[in-house]
Structure formats: structure tokens, C-alpha cells
């Protein structure tokens, strides 16, 4: 399901107006035995899930990188 979703996102971008700019950031984490681990920065373990009115639900201190 994930590869199809990613393909759809990039197909939509490719088919959009040439004057529209997109910025895509990704994060990858693993949940194992109720612990969260940042897969883009392996030294970050036991991360916390937080909720805020502006950001909604998010993982605190999770690494985000821009992709093309």
C-alpha cells in the first residue's frame, strides 16, 4: 500500500500545473514493543507521541527530511 500511495502522490505532482511548487518531507518510525524508534536517526529511541491544537497528533523530535 505504501509504494502505491507514494506513486500516486508523485503522479499527482507530475500532472499538476507547472507553476505550482511542492515540498515533501518524510519521517519513518518503528513501533516495537510499545516503543517508538526514529528510523532516519537510529540513535533516537523511545520517542513520545504528543498532541497539540495546531499540529494535531505527532511524534516529538522525529527526524524529517525533504525528498524529490
The pLDDT assigned to 45 comes to 83
Q: What is the pLDDT of residues 38-59, one digit of tens each?
A: 999 988 888 999 999 988 999 9
pLDDT of residue 66: 95
pLDDT category at 1 given cuts 50, 70, 90 is confident
pLDDT at position 16 is: 94
pLDDT digits (tens, 9 = 90+) for 11-35: 999 999 999 999 999 999 999 998 9
The number of C-alpha atoms within 13 Å of 22 and in the hemisphere containing its C-beta is 14
Using alpha carbons, select from 38, 43, 33 the residue that is nearest to residue 58: 38
Amino acid at each position: 500500500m505504501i509504494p502505491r500511495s507514494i506513486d500516486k502522490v508523485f503522479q499527482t505532482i507530475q500532472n499538476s500545473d507547472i507553476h505550482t511548487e511542492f515540498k515533501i518531507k518524510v519521517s519513518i518510525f518503528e513501533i516495537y514493543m510499545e516503543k517508538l524508534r526514529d528510523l532516519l536517526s537510529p540513535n533516537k529511541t523511545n520517542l513520545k507521541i504528543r498532541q497539540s491544537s495546531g499540529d494535531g497528533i505527532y511524534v516529538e523530535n522525529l527526524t524529517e527530511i525533504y525528498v524529490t
